[in-house]
């Protein structure tokens, strides 16, 4: 009886389809592979904590600004509340930039792992 193989399903138009799996599908996983994989997981966890912390700081800072400086809530620019302008025009671009950074760094971590593991 054969062991079931791990299969990764990806959309054919993504570059993930052309990359191989992060770990081999057979039982050839060595201690070095496990060390590299743990290192990748730690790196991804650090990145997630960094992005989560930056997001919480950004959103919490704006909420704190509204709580500490009441004039921030009442200020108007071109007839629109400044708080809404900051939220609509300032926060979303920063969140998109954080998301782009997270994806870019995550892919870089995985590429570094592949390079270390010798699986290109």
| pTM for this predicted structure | 0.66
Distance separating alpha carbons of residues 57 and 114, to the nearest angstrom? 33
Cα 96 from chain centre: 11
pLDDT interval class at 21 (50, 70, 90)? low
Average pLDDT, the chain: 81
Tell me which DSSP letter residue 85 carries.
H
Name residue, tokens 């930039």.
97
């Amino acid at each position: 009886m054969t062991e079931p193989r791990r299969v990764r399903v990806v959309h054919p138009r993504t570059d993930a389809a052309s990359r191989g799996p992060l770990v081999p599908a057979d039982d050839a996983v060595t201690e070095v592979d496990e060390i590299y994989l743990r290192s990748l997981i730690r790196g991804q966890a650090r990145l997630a904590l960094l992005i989560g912390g930056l997001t919480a700081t950004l959103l919490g800072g704006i909420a704190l600004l509204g709580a500490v400086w009441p004039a921030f809530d009442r200020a108007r620019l071109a007839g629109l509340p400044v708080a809404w302008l900051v939220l609509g025009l300032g926060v979303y671009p920063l969140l998109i930039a954080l998301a782009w950074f997270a994806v870019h760094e995550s892919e870089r971590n995985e590429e570094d792992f592949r390079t270390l593991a010798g699986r290109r």
